[in-house]
Structure 1
Amino acid sequence: MRTVAAALGVLLVLVSPAAAPASSGGGCARQALLFCEDFERLPAGGAASLRWGIDTKHGTLTVERRGGGKVLRVHTEGNGRAFLRVDDFAAPGNSFFGRIRLRVSAFPTAPDWAHYTLVEATGQGAEIVRPLGGQYVPTLDRALWGVGGDGGPTGDWTNWRESAPSVAARWQCVEWEADASDNRISVWIDGVAQPDLTVTTTQHGGNPVDFVFPRFDTVKIGWQLYQGNPTPPAYDVLLDDIALATTKIGC
């Protein structure tokens, strides 16, 4: 009996990375949230909801059962995109917190400087804010997380950091804060603050032009790769427990 139990224990460890993550902070019962989606009430199959939209090109969104719950599978081909889109979003004072659980099958290893985005916030103003994304850095032969931006006076940039590697094939909980008081983005991974990833009005991607938030009205969560003919040629991301709030949500 002990041998069987031990074998079962090993099996559970082996399959757990592909299953939906267990957590005390999941679910959508909390009333103070600005937005929440845990996919539990949605049928399996092509993703659709009256509470959010879809933005795809060479990509799909599918609700799948994993382990004891449901998750959103994001699939793209090449430099495609597939996002769950929260429209008509309004954060008090233009500041908000976000939380997602994610598992990326693989990050790009080509071409050099391949750039990917998982969270993007836009609104009234030219700047596009990317609280979670990253880049394959050929000089280090690693994919690294980095906060980024595009449009407006700052142009395109990704403030990647060696201290924040993008880890594939493992569930992680990522949180961020968008603080309009100094246009600050702060990031936590698995509950641990990542101060190296913080960007502010004047500290962002080596760009001397001030970084200023738009008046947020849309948040997109999913995957986009910007360079053609990447390696690998397709990408799969599992997402769960998406939440936006006025206070830190926790993992």
Structure 2
Amino acid sequence: MPQIVRSSKWIPVAVLLSLSACAAEEREFSTPCKALICDDFESSEVGAAPAGRWRVGTSDDGMGNMTGAVAVDSTRAFSGNRSVKISTVENDNWKSAQLIFADTSALPTKDNVVFGRAMVWVESVPDKNLTWGLITGKGMVPGETHEAYYRYGGSEPVPGPDGSVGSKLAAFYDTPGSYDVPPSAPETNCWNHATSDIMPVGRWACVEWKFDGGNDEMQLWLDGFGIPGLNLKGTGQGCTGGQSADFVWKAPTFTEILVGWETGDPDVARTIWVDDVVIGAEKVGCP
């Protein structure tokens, strides 16, 4: 199988096509599964929610109109003939559509360390300063009465040499109870931007992550490469919630892992596809 080129650069379309032109047997999903869950979605019905131990989560606009959708799809697939299509509509409010793994027989893990891998095809990314999320680990913070989120996504626009605009990858820490009235958690809204890496668009990308609750640590890999700036331990670059620069991103006990698209800012419609998802207690690696 040809070596994967690091995806944070703008790569000519012809090169991307050659990278994805692998023989079917080289891209076959490995079995048996030795992780907490492995799914290529081939056994799920097209047009329906993914079968088995998955849940789906979608938001509404406050007036009963759904702003996201999650369903098995045959439009494109990394392996086999099916993947999960995740989409959000254009609006000015919060919107999310996510594939959720929250099996209590599997999570939390013994050491509160969760690895994951997903093949992800992103149709488009924001061309402006807009925060979006792709991978989230959530749960209650040990010794506290509130939840916390470890999240990977992006926010900052990065102009490319061909006139296109990418979105720089980033890590985020949030305590959703801070939005309650009155607040039930400290206000955080913390971030840390990658040095330069952007989210690939228009091709399959291998996204891997590690959430280490015991060490307040998180790590991201893209196509097998660690992302400079996104291997975090303890703190990030800053918080908008009035916290100091050395505020500790105290990890939760990870009881849910979410893969999908979410943003709280005005945005156009977005669509991504997810395939060959593996979640476990050890690093998975790219197919």
Q: TM-score, normalised by structure 1?
A: 0.82
Mapping 1:33-112, distance limit 5 Å: 33-57=35-59, 58-65=67-74, 66=76, 68-78=80-90, 79-87=94-102, 88=104, 89-110=107-128
Distance between the aligned counterparts of 1:237 and 1:190, measured in 2?
Answer: 17
Match of 2:155 among 135, 152, 155: 135
Distance between the aligned counterparts of 1:237 and 1:225, measured in 2?
Answer: 14
Seen in structure 2, the aligned counterparts of structure 1 residues 239 and 48 have a Cα distance that, compared at 3 Å, is closer
Once the two structures are TM-superposed, the CA of residue 28 in structure 1 deviates from its matched residue by 5.8
Match of 2:136 among 120, 125, 129: 120
Mapping 1:1-251, distance limit 5 Å: 27=29, 29-57=31-59, 58-65=67-74, 66=76, 68-78=80-90, 79-87=94-102, 88=104, 89-110=107-128, 113-125=129-141, 126-130=147-151, 132-137=152-157, 142-151=166-175, 153=186, 155-201=188-234, 203-206=235-238, 207-228=245-266, 230=267, 233-251=268-286
Seen in structure 2, the aligned counterparts of structure 1 residues 175 and 31 have a Cα distance that, compared at 3 Å, is same
Once the two structures are TM-superposed, the CA of residue 31 in structure 1 deviates from its matched residue by 3.4
- The answer as to whether partners of 1:26 and 1:241 remain within 8 angstroms in 2 is no
- The answer as to whether partners of 1:135 and 1:158 remain within 8 angstroms in 2 is no
Distance between the aligned counterparts of 1:20 and 1:80, measured in 2?
Answer: 35
- Report the count of equivalent residues: 233
Distance between the aligned counterparts of 1:225 and 1:93, measured in 2?
Answer: 30
Whichever structure has more strand as a proportion of its residues is 1
% same residue: 25
Amino acid at match of 2:269: A
Structure 1 residues without counterparts, runs of 5 or longer: 1-9
Distance between the aligned counterparts of 1:23 and 1:204, measured in 2?
Answer: 41
Distance between the aligned counterparts of 2:189 and 2:130, measured in 1?
Answer: 13
**What SS is found at the alignment partner of 2:273?**
strand
CA offset digits 1:92-117 (Å, max 9, x no partner): 2101211011011100124xx31110
Amino acid at match of 1:135: S
Residue of structure 2 equivalent to 1:3: none
- The answer as to whether partners of 1:20 and 1:69 remain within 8 angstroms in 2 is no
Seen in structure 2, the aligned counterparts of structure 1 residues 214 and 194 have a Cα distance that, compared at 3 Å, is same
Seen in structure 2, the aligned counterparts of structure 1 residues 36 and 14 have a Cα distance that, compared at 3 Å, is closer
Cα RMSD of the aligned pairs, angstroms, is: 2.9
CA offset digits 1:39-97 (Å, max 9, x no partner): 01111112242411110021111211236421111110135211111112221210121
Distance between the aligned counterparts of 1:173 and 1:138, measured in 2?
Answer: 21
Structure 2 residues without counterparts, runs of 5 or longer: 1-12, 60-66, 142-146, 176-184, 239-244
